[in-house]
Structure 1
Amino acid sequence: MPPTRRLSSSLRLLLFLLMITVTGLVIVYRPTISDIKSSPYILPSTWQSMPIPIPPGIDELSPKEKALAIKQIHYAAKVETKFRPNPNWGGRDHGREDYKYYSENELRKLAVCMATDTCRQNQTSVIILGHIFNHFHIYEGYMGGEGIWTASLIETLSKWGYTILHARDDWIYMWYLYNQIPDMVKGIIAWRTGQFGTFEEQMKTGRRANGIPAWQFFVYNYFPDHYTSIVGDAWNMHSEFGYSQHQRNFTFIPYVVEPATIPPYIPASQRPNQVYILAKFVRYFYPGAQPAWEDRGIFLRAKEILEKEFPGFEFVVGCRDDRNAGQQEEVPMELPPGIRNLGQMDKVEFERQLANSRVMLGIGWPTLSPSPHVALSLGIPFISPFSMHGWSSLDDPETWASSQHHTLKTLTEPYVYHVLRGNETQFIDAIRKALSTPIEPFILPLMTRDHHEKQVNKWLNTDWKAKAAKILENRKNGKETENGNEIGEFTL
């Protein structure tokens, strides 16, 4: 055999043996799937050495949660350098879309925590807020009843580590958010209609498989007794319990009424004989708002009588005329004589003035305001006007036609004085008794932080799909267990 051919054959043999050896080494030393999964995901050192400020609330977490939170903050901060901080969405041309930026940012945080294994407990459980008053509170500082409720709910969910997404009242955007992370969404709190579309247009059906399941949508209404869910009673969420002698089947999640700390509690004996009138706008004293006392002279007459018994007695209010300039010029409105206007106030000043009063007086509107709860927490009794049907009973508040505060119908003197609308004698007598009978600070047990957190926890940990499945099965079999005009067929 020629030398060149022998060399070629030897080279081929050598290469073959080398391939066999390498293959053997790979088989012996190759990593297993478990090795790959357990290997730490190493990020560039620059991601781990950035001087990122740590929020004060982190210190309140458990050591394990704190360590996860700090790692995640560093990773998420690095990601955020690649995104514009709250970009300009187009101003008035596209509406106020801050909620979209916020929610997209929260989705990025979810992606970061899952990719780096730093998710805190409950972080991958998502609540979508889609009610217009949620939006008004978060982005415009609205502190009406719905705003106060939103603040309480966000505080609790955030403390427990849940992810909250904002969707204004935009059902198209709610559908978009839901379909990115359907298995993470615990619930959507919204109203049935909104800025863009309705729930029914985005609801899961046999023909719309990627719609939002009805059992994950909770219809929020601040006021009790509205049953507008397609599924059933418990899918109607309220933040005031109202008054009823019968078991309520809706989901009650109250806002939190805290013990008075700022301003500090002032004993009634150290306060002036001041009656604070619950009214933010001057128009509440005029017929369009159906005031409890249409005779506007009642305040001056009451003042002239009561200041003889209670030195320095006066009515005060903090209100303004919220109508436009044309309306104000066309129909001028002034406060009834005998009332001193403190003017428009922020929350802190309102509570300071209220804490310096001895009685809070309702005049019919607004109904179910949080302010009477605040007054009671400061040791201030509330005078609540009510009306009756012809068949109503004075001894049965459930039969009354109206009341300024349906929840507080459960309380009687010396905490709440129920006065018949238009009755001047009852009006003056109630003020006299309230001034003469001081009370200690009081919070209705239903409105405490403890009860609020119990109710939120119950809602989060209920198997709503199983509950809806049972309702649906009964409904298909002709057995209806729920109330309301909106209940109907739905797809799980």
Structure 2
Amino acid sequence: MVIGDYLSVPKCLKDEKDCIRSRVDPSGIPSHKLFVFDGYDVGHPLGRRWHLSFYPKLEEGFSFLGLTIEHYCKNFSVVPPKLRPKKIYILGKDRGYFYPPSPQLFKRDMWKRISDKTGIGFTMGTFQRSKEIDEQRQKNDTSGYEKAKKFADFEPIEGIDDIGTQTRSQFIYQIQNHRAVIGLGWPVQPSTPLEALCVGTPFINPVWVGRRSQPDRSKWHSQHPYLAHFDPPFVYNVQDQREDDILESIEMILKKPLEGRFIPDELKIESYLNRLKDLVEFDWKELSLQKNNKKK
């Protein structure tokens, strides 16, 4: 198997001189051995079976390879909920997420209100663009300074403690020492909620289509479509613009916290290796021949 992304694989399939096996290049890569693996799920020129997905999407025809964080997240301890401060970490590295054109799922003044009602604090670690402006000025980089100046810092959000950019170890520490992680809607399907669950921190997953009207969760539009299939104490699915949903989730998190690690079975190392074995041993050449015969 040769694995690439949705840009490199189509390019290779068209390159009969230096990439794909052809009459011109008989030593090239056989087309049936070339796979796409990424989180965009845009498909593959040979069909969706040749597109390996991060999360299960078998009903859409993709092959599920998945991912696993078990091998490294278990290196981090689980801090008992009672030892954690009453804080929730907001997922996002940019204050711009609170302003258009980013999706505005919650009102900016909501965080202060919820904090006043519940005693819960909110933390966020964002990139401070003003620092970049200073760096460019010190370098006498006129073009860089002007570019950075266009993206001056957005105003701080009342009710949120912005602790700035974090190193990887600092970020994990924050996740370990908060009661929950809450999303803002962007980016879609990030890995951080899985890391949080692995250190015993639940995820509050915003849903903007389907939560109250659609029983089939695969049809929901949410920040993390995969985790939308899970329930408390692991995942709290909340409707956008519904402050009461978040208040209810916080109340449940404080009363019945997640007491240990949670890794979905299909994202554990053993399951991942079994899927990898099945993919490697599958007769992809035969499947490609069948598809070609159907086209004739």
**TM-score bracket for this pair, using the shorter chain length:** 0.7 to 0.9
Partner of 1:278: 91
1:346/1:367 CA distance change after superposition, 3 Å? same
1:254/1:322 CA distance change after superposition, 3 Å? farther
TM-score by length of 2: 0.83
Following superposition, the deviation at residue 278 of structure 1 comes to: 0.8
Following superposition, the deviation at residue 372 of structure 1 comes to: 0.6
Following superposition, the deviation at residue 302 of structure 1 comes to: 0.8
What CA deviation, in whole Å up to 9, does each residue of 1:96-116 have, x standing for no partner? xxxxxxxxxxxxxxxxxxxxx
Partner of 1:193: 7
Q: Kindly report the root-mean-square deviation, in angstroms, between the aligned alpha carbons of the 2 structures.
A: 2.7
Specify the code of the residue in structure 1 equivalent to 2:256: T
1:434/1:193 CA distance change after superposition, 3 Å? same
Specify the code of the residue in structure 2 equivalent to 1:463: D
1:305 aligns with 2:112: no
Partner of 1:231: 46
What CA deviation, in whole Å up to 9, does each residue of 1:8-67 have, x standing for no partner? xxxxxxxxxxxxxxxxxxxxxxxxxxxxxxxxxxxxxxxxxxxxxxxxxxxxxxxxxxxx
1:240 aligned residue (55, 68, 82): 55
1:198/1:261 CA distance change after superposition, 3 Å? closer
Partner of 2:192: 371
What CA deviation, in whole Å up to 9, does each residue of 1:341-371 have, x standing for no partner? 2221222221111101111111111111111
Corresponding residue SS for 1:426: helix
Corresponding residue SS for 1:288: coil
1:463 aligned residue (271, 283, 288): 283
CA distance in 1, matches of 2:5, 2:234: 34
1:410 aligns with 2:222: no
Following superposition, the deviation at residue 212 of structure 1 comes to: 3.6
Following superposition, the deviation at residue 472 of structure 1 comes to: 1.6
Specify the code of the residue in structure 2 equivalent to 1:279: G
Specify the code of the residue in structure 2 equivalent to 1:268: P
1:290 aligned residue (92, 103, 111): 103
| Bigger helix share | 1
CA distance in 1, matches of 2:237, 2:23: 52
Specify the code of the residue in structure 1 equivalent to 2:154: M
CA distance in 1, matches of 2:239, 2:6: 36
CA distance in 2, matches of 1:208, 1:350: 48
Give 1 or 2 for the bigger CA radius of gyration: 1
1:428 aligns with 2:247: yes
Following superposition, the deviation at residue 385 of structure 1 comes to: 0.5
Gaps of 5+ in 1: 1-186, 308-312, 477-492
Which of structures 1 and 2 has the larger relative contact order (alpha carbons within 8 angstroms, sep 6+)?
2
Gaps of 5+ in 2: 134-145
1:289/1:458 CA distance change after superposition, 3 Å? same
Q: Does structure 1 retain, via aligned residues, the 8 Å contact 2:5–2:36?
A: yes
Following superposition, the deviation at residue 218 of structure 1 comes to: 0.5
Following superposition, the deviation at residue 406 of structure 1 comes to: 0.9
CA distance in 2, matches of 1:442, 1:429: 22
Partner of 1:255: 67
